[in-house]
Amino acid sequence: MGASGNAYFRDNFMSNVVVVGSQWGDEGKGKIVDWLSERADVVVRFQGGHNAGHTLVVGNKTYKLSLLPSGVVREGKLGVIGNGVVIDPWALRDEIARLGEQGVAITAENLRIAENATLILPLHRELDAIREEAAGAGKIGTTKRGIGPAYEDKVGRRAIRVMDLQNLSTLKGKVERILTHHNALRRGLGQPEVGAEELFEQLSEIAPSILPYMDTVWSLLDQCRREGKRILFEGAQGAMLDIDHGTYPFVTSSNTIAGQAATGSGVGPGTLGYVLGITKAYTTRVGSGPFPTEQENDIGEKLGQRGHEFGTVTGRKRRCGWFDAVMVRQAIRTGGITAIALTKLDVLDGFDELKICVGYDLDGKPLDRLPASQGAQARVKPVYETLEGWQGTTQGARSWADLPAQAVKYVRRLEELIGAPVALLSTSPERDDTILVHDPFED
């Protein structure tokens, strides 16, 4: 490739950034995405649904987003919901209304939705709840918002998509097709069937609230790329909830690693430039599933209370534990993460000592990765390295010089263990309390 080709690649691809979680979600992506969105022109959601939540603090206002890309709260930014997202149109309508009450107007000028995105229907929510309740001890921790059943219909090729709301004359046939499957399921579960006319009327009613935002997103993003606009791809949840690479079956129903940014928005993989993995300075998890470093003791309680560890969407209490370097290193490798943004370092202020998981013990044998088997994941025991804590405060620090020496040592040791540098360091929920090592958009 000649000099002009290198310049074209740099200008049109490397300025794009993908943000993903490197743990089990809840890593603090909202603040980092908001911080980055000021530097971006377009912010794209590419997977998941309204089971994920981002909390943004802008000035003296707090915004809680589930479906909308974080960029929509900033003037002059275009928010895009890609085809990889499953959309509950009623939840989206309500979220748009809530933002409107906070003074953020959502219009076709600042929000576009992929025409080929799959819709979450009321029957998906009902099925999700019915099956989770029936699972008893086998529950996987779903949010009961219909995400999984909607993805099942997508791959089963019977989904109703955004574009289907545009032509009501053909919608009835698609409603009947999806109900052939769902009513059989409902009969087997002892539930009443869903009437085709009822579902058709629900979709007809919601269509005008969604269709104004519909667009051919893959083409839109291609045009943005050609115009040299900076695109920020915003992931939801975390790498260990990935349907393929996570702690299966205690995972979400989509791919959460960076590669999904291409598939879930209709751009080529070469469009993805820099991958930033949001990483909490300790570890949390919501719901069921393995958690090798979990602290079901006073330490876990202290981390949870100081970190305000409750889900943005569900309000569920998060399980808390020490930093798991083995898991994050694995997420970095499977996700192609360039660097990490380390969040919530201030929660560790005041601990006499801190532990980091540097390996696992599986049935008496050392292991340097999280195994794929559900049984093995449940049996692994963490191997810890202990570091001295710090009594000073990191809260609000905006430069390395503001950090206690032991806090700097902790961060540097994490970098060594996970095999990736820290690009940003967050020291409080406040947007400006961030230490910038290097700007992903300028790298």
Catalytic residues: 26, 54
Residue 387 in contact with residue 356, Cβ under 8 Å?
yes
Strands (E), 237-322: 274-280, 283-285, 319-321
Residue 327 in contact with residue 370, Cβ under 8 Å?
yes
Tokens matching residue 105:
């107007």
Instruction: Tell me which residue of 251, 332, 257 sits closest to 20, measured CA to CA.
Output: 257
Asked if residue 208 has a cis previous peptide bond (ω within 30° of 0), the answer is no
Q: Which residues fall within 8 angstroms of residue 223, CB to CB, at 6 or more apart?
A: none
Measure the CA dihedral 394/435/72/218, to 10°. Answer: -130
Distance of CA 124 to the CA centre of its chain: 21
**Residue 1 and residue 319: Cα distance in Å, rounded?**
50
Q: Which residue has the tokens 């008496």?
A: 364
Question: Residue 231 — left, alpha, or beta (φ > 0 → left; ψ -120 to 50 → alpha)?
Answer: beta
Sign for the CA dihedral angle at 171, 67, 71, 418 comes to negative
**Residue 242 and residue 253: Cα distance in Å, rounded?**
8
List phi, psi (to 5°) of 383. -110, 120
- The DSSP bridge pattern shows strands 42-45 and 231-234 to be parallel
Instruction: Tell me which residue of 258, 257, 310 sits closest to 287, measured CA to CA.
Output: 310
Residue 15 in contact with residue 407, Cβ under 8 Å?
no
Instruction: Tell me which residue of 438, 397, 401 sits closest to 421, measured CA to CA.
Output: 438
Amino acid at 315: G
Q: ∠ CA(191), CA(196), CA(199), 5° rounding?
A: 85
- For residue 283, the 8-state DSSP code is E
Estimate the share of the chain in helix, then strand, then coil, as percent rounded to the nearest 5.
40, 20, 40
Tokens matching residue 359:
């390996």
Collapsing DSSP states into helix, strand and coil, what is residue 197?
helix
